[in-house]
């Protein structure tokens, strides 16, 4: 008699824990051929708010760590992902119906992207910050600081797309609430397992699965969210509404990016969009 396998329950990833949706809801996730893969948790407004609370609670500690330490942690995520690459390749093939070679290339790129961003932790300040030679006896220095809690609507790429939007935010010290791709949410939760075992403090990245149209407006109008990245919003009207809602507390907004080539090397924009510039003056004199 063949062995019956034990299937995984996919839940949310909030504050370092894996809770079910408080709403008790789930939705069916199918593979590329329309067969059932699993039920995913369908997050509610309350789950989104809990995730913001967790992200806010984590912000002080995470942004207060040295850049060197954040680099070590993000590099560690890459190391752990490399060790679990077979699982991710299998998940990508199942959910997207892609070839083994393509799945491998996405996992490769996701790992390399984490490594690329890890190196930015202690360099972004040196590239976008500088001393300002003001016309007076003052020391004047501008440095970037993270904006705070950032909400993200992830693009469809279940692994590479997700890593490409989350890594640039956390490496600079922001904390994140990310809504996973509605069509391919399962890999996001598996990535949550990687993050949970990579020295990343709970709450730095929080993953919600469910309906973008249902959850995103609550995040866009949330007064304790400092920025919103609409990369994965595919409905132009919804994106415009979310941007308008974000104006209530002047969230920093990154508009949708249809047609992004996720395999290409990113520039600095995903980091700098969610950085504040702080300028310090100090008199010079005896």
Query: What is the nearest approach in angstroms of another protein to the Cβ of residue 69?
Result: 10
172 token code pair: 């600079």
Query: What is the nearest approach in angstroms of another protein to the Cβ of residue 190?
Result: 24
Query: What is the nearest approach in angstroms of another protein to the Cβ of residue 158?
Result: 23
Residue 42's CB: how many other CB atoms inside 10 A? 22
Query: What is the nearest approach in angstroms of another protein to the Cβ of residue 138?
Result: 9
Of 82 and 193, nearer to another protein (C-beta) is: 82
Binding residues vs another protein (CB under 8 A)? 67-68, 71-72, 75, 112, 115-116, 118-123, 126-127, 137, 139, 268, 282-286
203 token code pair: 């709450």
Residues 6+ apart with CB under 8 A from 149: 52, 55, 56, 59, 174, 175, 176, 177, 224, 225, 226, 227
Distance, in Å, from the CA atom of 189 to the CA atom of 178, rounded to the nearest integer, reads 11
Of 6 and 286, nearer to another protein (C-beta) is: 286
Of 59 and 120, nearer to another protein (C-beta) is: 120
Of 119 and 258, nearer to another protein (C-beta) is: 119
Of 30 and 139, nearer to another protein (C-beta) is: 139
132 token code pair: 């300002």
The CA-based dihedral angle spanning residues 198, 202, 204, 210, taken in that order and rounded to the nearest 10 degrees: 100
Distance, in Å, from the CA atom of 131 to the CA atom of 279, rounded to the nearest integer, reads 9
Strands (E) across 175-274 are located at 175-179, 205-208, 227-229, 252-254
Query: What is the nearest approach in angstroms of another protein to the Cβ of residue 129?
Result: 11
Of 31 and 82, nearer to another protein (C-beta) is: 82
Of 7 and 282, nearer to another protein (C-beta) is: 282
Query: What is the nearest approach in angstroms of another protein to the Cβ of residue 125?
Result: 8
Of 130 and 249, nearer to another protein (C-beta) is: 130
- DSSP letters, 59-125, are HHHHHHS-HHHHHHHHHHHHHHHHHTHHHHHHHHHHHH---HHHHHHHHHHHHHHHHHHHHHTTTHH
Query: What is the nearest approach in angstroms of another protein to the Cβ of residue 275?
Result: 15
For residues 103 and 92, is the Cβ–Cβ distance under 8 A?
Answer: yes
Query: What is the nearest approach in angstroms of another protein to the Cβ of residue 49?
Result: 36
For residues 280 and 129, is the Cβ–Cβ distance under 8 A?
Answer: no
* Whole-Å CA distances, 177 to 12, 235, 279, 283: 11, 20, 28, 40
């Amino acid at each position: 008699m063949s062995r019956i396998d034990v299937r995984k329950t996919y839940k949310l990833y909030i504050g370092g824990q894996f809770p079910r949706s408080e709403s008790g809801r789930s939705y069916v996730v199918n593979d590329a051929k329309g067969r059932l893969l699993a039920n995913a948790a369908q997050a509610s407004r309350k789950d989104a708010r809990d995730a913001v609370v967790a992200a806010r609670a984590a912000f002080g500690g995470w942004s207060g760590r040295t850049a060197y330490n954040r680099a070590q942690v993000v590099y560690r995520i890459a190391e752990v992902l490399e060790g679990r690459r077979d699982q991710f390749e299998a998940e990508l093939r199942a959910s997207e119906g892609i070839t083994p070679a393509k799945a491998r290339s996405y996992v490769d790129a996701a790992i390399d992207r984490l490594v690329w961003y890890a190196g930015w932790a202690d360099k972004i300040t040196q590239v976008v910050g500088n001393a300002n030679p003001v016309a007076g006896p003052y020391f004047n220095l501008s440095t970037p600081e993270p904006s705070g809690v950032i909400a993200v609507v992830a693009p469809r790429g279940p692994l590479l797309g997700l890593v490409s939007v989350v890594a640039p935010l956390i490496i600079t010290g922001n904390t994140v609430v990310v809504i996973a791709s509605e069509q391919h949410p399962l890999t996001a939760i598996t990535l949550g397992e990687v993050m949970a075992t990579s020295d990343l403090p709970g709450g730095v990245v929080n993953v919600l699965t469910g309906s973008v149209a249902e959850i995103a407006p609550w995040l866009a109008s949330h007064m304790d969210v400092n920025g919103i990245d609409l990369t994965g919003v595919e409905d132009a009207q919804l994106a415009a509404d979310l941007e308008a809602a974000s104006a209530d507390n002047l969230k920093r907004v990154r508009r949708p990016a249809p047609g992004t080539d996720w395999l290409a090397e990113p520039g600095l924009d995903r980091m700098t969009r969610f950085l504040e510039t702080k300028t310090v003056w100090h008199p010079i004199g005896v």
